[in-house]
Structure 1
Amino acid sequence: MNVVKSIASLGLVAFLAACGSADRYAVDMPPVTEQVSIRFTSVEVRDVSLPSYAAADEIHVRKSNGTLVSSSDELWADSPERAVALELSENLSRLTNRRIASEPWPFEAYPDARLELRFSELLAAETGQFRASGQYFVAVSTGGSERSGLFDLTVAFDPKGGPAAIAAARGQLILDLASYIAKNGLK
């Protein structure tokens, strides 16, 4: 009986090992090489809205025929909406040396401004371009003009680098977006 249990246990372990697990790809923060002055001392990154494919755990790529493909074996390391909001707030903080945080706002005093982003695209293409486009909104809490703007940015990457290259490109793209918003929406 113990032999049967041992064989069954080994079979289960072998089956689970054969199923494998997905590879998860983290986005590293690229170095900040500039400082940007903004008019606000504190900014809350409130909402980051992504298209459904970009909010999914799977890393999607646009093929030359326009179709989006993904694999359940290649996943983002963190929930994309949470990760992009954190990357954006950390990059804005590093660029501006101001008090910037993603929601929920962790401080007692309310922020001077709130930033929301609605992405229409956040996608890597098999041609080696990672593109982000959409609109940002800046709500001002005390006497100032609220504003909005469009963004459309791309970063090149080596498609032969696979998901790791895509993750590095996303990191650079979100840094570029933070710089763009700081210069155009938070001045």
Structure 2
Amino acid sequence: MTLRAAILLTFTAALAGCGGTTTRYAVPSPLAEEAAPRIASKYGSLEIREISLPTYAASEEIATRDADGAIVSEKTLLWADEPSRAITLELSRLLGQMTRAQVAAEPWPFLDRAAAQVDVRVEEMLADVIGGFQLSGHYYVAPDSGIGGRSGLFSITVPIVGEGARVIAAARGVAVRQLAEQIAREGLR
């Protein structure tokens, strides 16, 4: 082994030892026995636009609001997937299960056009110190025909039972499920 190779190997080993452990948290999928409610939709197909999130919520770092009202995050506690992508796919899956419509995230993968597009714009998505996960914003349902569009506000609070990122991830899953149900009941009728 040459001196240069030995120095590079030592330097690489030293750098590897400096890195902290990063932990990623996935939102648990609902269990099969937790059947989604069946909700009739007037649309046979839905395209879910990419979810719009505030900057702090779009980050892979899990954000919380502290006692002073500041939004903080821990660089070593991360979502398992990019939040906008993950929530878009989760909402697509849930709306498909609830409505039995053909549902896909954008870009629409089929040759025919979707009967309607669903656009969700989140204003707030975080856990707070009082033990709740907040999800609020607007949703829009735009039919391909251009007639009969709907919109609505949502403000969902899910209690967080316990501490840590794992329970925050579980609460986010419940909040997105409640959002899907609200969109299906109010926006797709």
Normalising by structure 1, what TM-score? Answer: 0.91
Q: Gapped runs of 5+ residues in structure 1? A: none
Query: 2:50, 2:85 within 8 Å by CA — same for their partners in 1?
Result: no
Three-state SS of the structure 2 residue aligned to 1:73 is strand
Letter in 2 for 1:12: T
Q: What is residue 177 of structure 2 aligned with on the other side?
A: 175
Structure 1 residue 172, shift from structure 2 partner: 1.1
Q: What is residue 38 of structure 2 aligned with on the other side?
A: 35
Q: How many residues align?
A: 186
Q: Which runs of 4+ in 1 moved over 4 A?
A: 1-8
Residues 6 and 131 (structure 1 numbering): CA distance in 2 closer, same or farther, change over 3 Å? same
Q: What is residue 123 of structure 1 aligned with on the other side?
A: 126
Structure 1 residue 117, shift from structure 2 partner: 0.7
Three-state SS of the structure 1 residue aligned to 2:46 is strand
Q: Distance in 2 between matches of 1:76 and 1:172?
A: 16
Matches within 5 A, 1:5-84: 6=6, 9-10=9-10, 12-31=12-31, 32-33=34-35, 34-84=37-87
Residues 5 and 144 (structure 1 numbering): CA distance in 2 closer, same or farther, change over 3 Å? closer
Residues 46 and 4 (structure 1 numbering): CA distance in 2 closer, same or farther, change over 3 Å? closer
Q: Distance in 1 between matches of 2:96 and 2:103?
A: 5
Normalising by structure 2, what TM-score? Answer: 0.90
Structure 1 residue 147, shift from structure 2 partner: 1.1
Structure 1 residue 109, shift from structure 2 partner: 0.8
Q: Deviations over 1:22-81 (max 9, x none)?
A: 111111222443211111110000131100000011100001210111111011111111
Identity of counterpart residues, as a percentage? 41
Q: Deviations over 1:72-95 (max 9, x none)?
A: 101111111111111111111111
Query: Which region of structure 1 is more displaced relative to structure 2, 143-152 or 86-95?
Result: 143-152
Three-state SS of the structure 1 residue aligned to 2:50 is strand
